[in-house]
A and B are shown apart, each in its own frame.
Chain A
Amino acid sequence: MTRNSIIISGVMLLVFGFIYADTFTKEDVIRWQKEFDAAAKYGRQLWENSASFKLGTNNVACAQCHPNATNTHPETYPKFQKQLGRVVSLAEMVNWCIINPLEGKPLKLDSKEMVALLAYIHSERRGVKLAPGKH
């Protein structure tokens, strides 16, 4: 390292002080958790009131067959879905349900709604060991 670059680095350090890429505070963690909780809460609303959010076209709600998001088994995905003959993600199965029992159009995989549904499903399955591929 040249003398100049050391000086420049020193100046930069003085100017930008204590900013480091992965430093965070307790407040940050609380805020981020709140962001997740808000997504899961929105997911629960979509789950219960699927019709008012126009997930489907026939008034059927996710919660009718999956109370508390049970029988979704998020811990087992991705897995070989025998009915489809390939390894799929949970999001694809969510869309399968939206297309079939709910008679709706699939969500974009990175849409706010899909992410919220996944957040809700996972939040109801806290503490269950990951078991990717399990049937």
Chain B
Amino acid sequence: MSRDISRRTFLGRSALGAAAALLPVTLVNVVFGQKKGGAAQKAKAAGDKTDFTFAYISDAHIQQISGNKFVRNWDQGLKRAVAEANLLIPRPDFVMFGGDLGQLGKKEELDHGAEIMSACKYKTHYVMGEHDFYLDMGACWEKLFGKQYYSFDHKGVHFIVLNSILTYDSWNKKWPSAMERMVQMAGLDNPLGSPFMVGEAQRKWLAADLAKVDKNVPVILFSHSPIQKIYKGWNFWTEDAEKVQALLKPFKKVTVIYGHVHQIQYNQIGNISFNSVMATAWPWPYPQSYALAKSSLPVLTVPMNRADPFFERDATGWQFIDVNSGKVAANYLLTDNENRTVKYNRKTGRPEDVKYQNKRTAAQEHY
């Protein structure tokens, strides 16, 4: 069975929703593996590297109520994603966590989140989110998860993790307390917030890191905020996005995967493909839903279905990401809704929804 067909089988089963939920979880298997025979030789001749899968969990927003009490709803979202990721067969090569593990960056929240994530059976890499950062400028997070930006290589792909949620020093210093700063940045629609940026120091590091990489090597960059400009009012935005994009321009295969937006988004800018990932906590409205402001959701994006609040986990989820010859297929596992797959289309040169790209439904209309 080829990878594509077996993956489709998995997604098809899951799409049955209620029916899938009735299956014993151990039956929800994905069976795919290396290319065999002629296909493998052909791939080798074309210089393709091994295909592989990794899982992506993001935006858990673990929120302390008091003492050892945390918001049940958000806890359940993360626990469910970890449990489901553990069921993936074959095993994903690693797991990414896309940022915003906590809600107000408190040690209690990050510790509790790290404890839930510790149930994850795979090597996990972390991305910094603003909700993890603005209380102590990432100190507690660093102790738990290490460097705020770094790179690693895996099966012929160069992976980069950036901290894209930095902002101006003057803004950081203007608040009477660290918690006040955190609360101000935590409000998505807060007009007193400040735009996210990668910043000069990190861009310099990125340029040096990329200088060592062959231009034919596929590059996958992880950030919390989109390295593109969608809507500044909610920080669906990175102030120096164009400068980061310019550093990625010389590479043949580039993908940026980001969290923060709690919804399906994808785009193609020049050589760079963009894929967002879902939150495990709660969904966010698409920016065009705010009638008083202008925004620019990529026209390519077919939105996820409008959330049904009566289903607590609707429009939340996690994803497994297939890396196929250096380009990405993002498989969105949407609890309480139909799963979606956004896959890079080699013919059109852009990511596309495999089912809905040219066939939108009423439930995908956001207003």
Contacts and interface: CB of A to CB of B under 8 A. Distances in A.
Contacts, number: 60
A127 B291 contact: yes
A87 interface: no
Report whether over half of chain A's contact residues are helix, strand or loop; otherwise say mixed.
loop
A67 B308 CA distance: 17
Given A58-B71, A59-B71, A63-B189, A70 B290 contact: yes
Nearest to B234: A67
Interface string A38-70: 000000000010000000011110011111101
Given A59-B64, A83-B308, A83-B310, A67 B291 contact: no
A71 B233 CA distance: 16
Contacts of B306: 71
Nearest to B73: A101
Nearest to A101: B73
Contacts of B367: 73
Nearest to A97: B309
A68 B292 contact: yes
A68 B308 CA distance: 19
A64 B282 contact: yes
Interface residues of A, number: 24
A64 B292 CA distance: 19
B290 A67 contact: yes
A65 B284 contact: yes
Nearest to B283: A65
Nearest to B363: A135
Given A60-B71, A73-B367, A124-B292, A67 B63 contact: no
A128 interface: yes
Contact of B292 (A60, A65, A101, A127): A127
Given A60-B73, A70-B285, A100-B309, 8 more contacts: A58-B63, A59-B63, A65-B282, A67-B285, A68-B233, A68-B290, A71-B307, A124-B291
Interface of A: 48, 57-60, 63-68, 70-71, 73, 83, 96-97, 100-101, 124-128
8 contacts: A58-B71, A59-B65, A68-B293, A71-B289, A71-B307, A83-B310, A124-B290, A125-B291
